[in-house]
Structure 1
Amino acid sequence: MSSDPEVPGGNGVMAPSRVWVVGTPGSGKSTLAGALAARTGAPQVQLDAVYWGPGGVPLKPQEFTDRLAELLAGDRWVVDGQYPAAVEGFVDRADCVVWVDPPLAVSWSRLLRRTVRRWIRREPLWGGTRETFWTVVGPHSILWYALQVHRSQRQADAELFDRLRDAGVRLVHVRGGDALSSAGFGGH
């Protein structure tokens, strides 16, 4: 029997201790992970915040996995993101994996609004960088990247679920709507 706390408003659903949230860019991973962390009191680990160092320079692979190992050493956490090294090295510690999988039109429009908002408001990103006109519309824009990786990322998420299907991990696939309620963790 688990000693995990019941999720507030979760209708008797026991809160997993270690949740990993995956999905394409703009799918709502960080939003869902933040809400789950707030509800359960578990620390949120944003892989983007771990991966990107000062000036927007990525950490060296070993530094990234070492830092992540430190952050995931505890018994409770909510991770959002899915850098391949992170997934391969640590997803087996999760007792729940949530795949946030809205249609491309939904995730891309969210990403567009978020990116433009960050550019206009000059909001700092990981590593202290900020959006510029060219990072919004240029060839290295997250918007273009999201279109390029959407299909392959969905395939990687499906393969991850297949791999974990018999591993005793709670798997939750959320296609749309309110991800928090759809994931079985209660509504707002």
Structure 2
Amino acid sequence: MSAALSPAQTASALLTAQRVLVIGCPGSGKTVLARRLSTRFDLPFQSLDRDARWLPDWVARDPGEQRAIIARLAGAERWVMDGSDPASLDLRLPRADLVLWLRVPRTTAVARVLWRGLVHLGRVRPGMARGCPERLPTASGLSALWHHDRDQAPLIEHALTRYGADVPVAQLQSPVEIAQLFAS
């Protein structure tokens, strides 16, 4: 994995990046940040959940079809893409100019997932596929989120080393750091 960027280096890298990958656990703010970056830097917004993973009624798309869609999306000249699935980082990292890894405290992420479940309950939230109305989080979903750093972070770190060793990585650990990034 490449060396972590300072806030100033991250802000500078954003000015020239044409392909920005936003990763993190559920509730970390990936979609919100990616959409803000899309607007601020006029980059097309791509969401793995919306564009590749889900069909209506929460039916998961065939894994092979998902990979083909992700390969096509990653092959574009410009984008900001949210989604952390380690299984497709081999397709996305070699194309990325910058990775923003949101590493917010898990209590923050859990609170956000619960909040969005209540706020968007029964409606499709921004960044989600059509026909997939928000549901309340399940105990297994919350458990997976709680253990994301233990279970998923090592897979992400391995992928960063293997497929994106030359891609700069900025780890943002709080809403304050994200706000500071936009302020700079």
Mapped partners of 2:93, 2:39: distance in 1: 21
SS in 1 for 2:90: helix
Alignment of 1:129-144 (within 5 A): 129-132=132-135, 136=136, 138-140=138-140, 142-144=141-143
Name 2:95's counterpart in structure 1: 93
Offset at residue 101 of structure 1 (A): 0.4
What secondary structure is seen at the aligned counterpart in 2 of 1:14? helix
The answer to whether the Cα contact below 8 Å between 2:103 and 2:171 also exists between their aligned partners in 1 is yes
Structure 2 distance, partners of 1:97, 1:72, is 13
| 1:123 matches 2:119 | no
State the structure with bigger RCO (CA 8 A, min sep 6), 1 or 2. 2
| 3-state DSSP of counterpart to 1:115 | helix
Bigger Rg, structure 1 or 2: 1
- Could you tell me whether the CA contact under 8 Å between 2:57 and 2:131 is conserved in 1? yes
User: Are residues 74 and 164 of structure 1, via their aligned partners in 2, closer, same or farther at CA, if it must alter by over 3 Å?
Assistant: closer
Q: Do the aligned partners of 1:100 and 1:179 also contact (CA within 8 Å) in 2?
A: no
* Correspondence for 2:148: 149
Cα distance, 1:16 vs. partner?
Answer: 0.7
Equivalent residue number for residue 7 of structure 1: none
In the superposition, relative to structure 1, how do residues 111 and 91 fare at CA in structure 2: closer, same or farther (>3 Å)? same
Distance 1:107 1:41, change over 3 A: same
Q: Which runs of 5+ in 1 are unaligned?
A: 1-9
**Gaps in structure 2 of 5+ consecutive residues:** 1-10
Q: 1:177 to 1:130 in 2, by over 3 A?
A: closer
2:49 aligned with 1:48, yes or no? yes
Q: Conserved in 2, the CA contact under 8 Å of 1:99 and 1:157?
A: no
**Deviation (angstroms), 1:174:** 0.7
Shift of 1:23: 0.6
Counterpart for residue 187 of structure 1: 183
Q: Give the residue type in structure 2 aligned to 1:71.
A: L
CA distance in 2, matches of 1:103, 1:34: 21
Deviation at residue 163 of structure 1 after TM alignment: 4.3
**Cα distance in 1, alignment partners of residues 20 and 173 from structure 2:** 18
Percent identity of the aligned residues? 27
Relative to structure 1, the CA distance from residue 138 to residue 177 in structure 2 (aligned partners, 3 Å threshold; closer, same or farther) is: closer
Shift of 1:110: 1.1
What pairs up with 1:75-94 in 2 under 5 angstroms?
75-94=77-96
Cα-Cα RMSD: 2.5
Structure 1, residues 17-51: CA drift from partner, whole Å, max 9, x if none? 11111111101111111111111111111111120
Cα drift, residue 137 of structure 1: 5.4
Matches of residues 166-185 of structure 1 in structure 2 within 5 Å?
166-167=165-166, 169-182=167-180, 184=181
Measure, in 1, the Cα distance between the counterparts of 2:13 and 2:95: 24
Tell me how far apart the structure 2 counterparts of residues 147 and 47 of structure 1 sit (CA, whole Å). 21
Note the C-alpha offset of 1:11: 7.4
- In the alignment, does 2:29 pair up with 1:28? yes
